[in-house]
Homo-oligomer: A and B are copies of this chain.
């Protein structure tokens, strides 16, 4: 799957993943109204609204990006109906040949991580049969519990030729509170570097052609740390959130890439899916929000290409 992701990045010339994080405030009025009319102001109505919203965005961008990243929390908040919309979104995107990165940030003790890995990347045994649960291509994993909590994901990745992105240095303002703490017996280097080393080590166990199936999450908001982590994990793809709305800019991104122009994939969520709400794309209007998203992808692609050209 990492090979597929890379070949699609090359084909589209867009190291971009679109975050399908459908907060209600992004969903245009006319879509909400229709969904509430059909399903009521209920969890079902909310789920229908976000599904219709996603579908129109995907229809407008599927041919110019390699991947999407639905953030499960935005669906899970609407309970079972919301998670049905999550599953529907995954299936729809896969049918459009997009690589699907489930942003689930799971991670637990061994036997529990096994269940998460089976449910999101692999299959579960039911009697004499095997069944797929959510069936994403990649998921994000939280490393706080150590190798025990990550290894079950790696095992399933090997069986299914799928991948994970492990949280190393997250994009949020308080990510330093624990992640940046200086580790005494590692020459005072920050915890995120130690986690990064571990990612590189886990990655060696499961290599694709040029990059590993085991990648990392490093926020665009911390470009200097990105530069260091790029070297610590040379064979790991870096999933970079925080571009756009969270403050990351194109010129900050160059550090996350290797010399080969590969090695990073940049996420944008509201910058793309709610582009129609920005002044820059306002002329599309709420009715043509999908076209606004497409224009925002094209601008983001050019911004990144320029940053890579100028480095």
Contacts and interface: CB of A to CB of B under 8 A. Distances in A.
A147 interface: yes
A111 B80 CA distance: 20
A22 B298 CA distance: 47
Contacts of A179: 144, 146
24 contacts: A41-B126, A46-B131, A74-B112, A76-B119, A78-B119, A79-B87, A79-B119, A79-B131, A82-B133, A83-B83, A109-B241, A110-B172, A142-B144, A145-B170, A145-B172, A145-B174, A145-B175, A146-B172, A146-B178, A147-B177, A148-B173, A181-B183, A182-B184, A191-B191
A203 interface: no
Interface in A131-179: 131-134, 142-149, 167, 170-179
Contacts of A186: 181
A84 interface: yes
A176 B172 CA distance: 25
**Copies of chain A in the complex:** 2
Contacts of A73: 106, 108, 112-113, 115-116, 119
Interface in A82-104: 82-84, 87
Contact of A36 (B78, B79, B127, B173): B127
B77 A46 contact: no
Interface size, A (range):
35 or more
Contacts of A175: 145-146, 148
A307 B179 CA distance: 37
A149 B129 CA distance: 39
A275 to B, nearest CB: 17
A106 B105 contact: yes
The 4 closest A-B pairs by CB, nearest first: A146-B177, A77-B119, A146-B174, A79-B133
Contacts of A41: 126-129
A77 B185 CA distance: 38
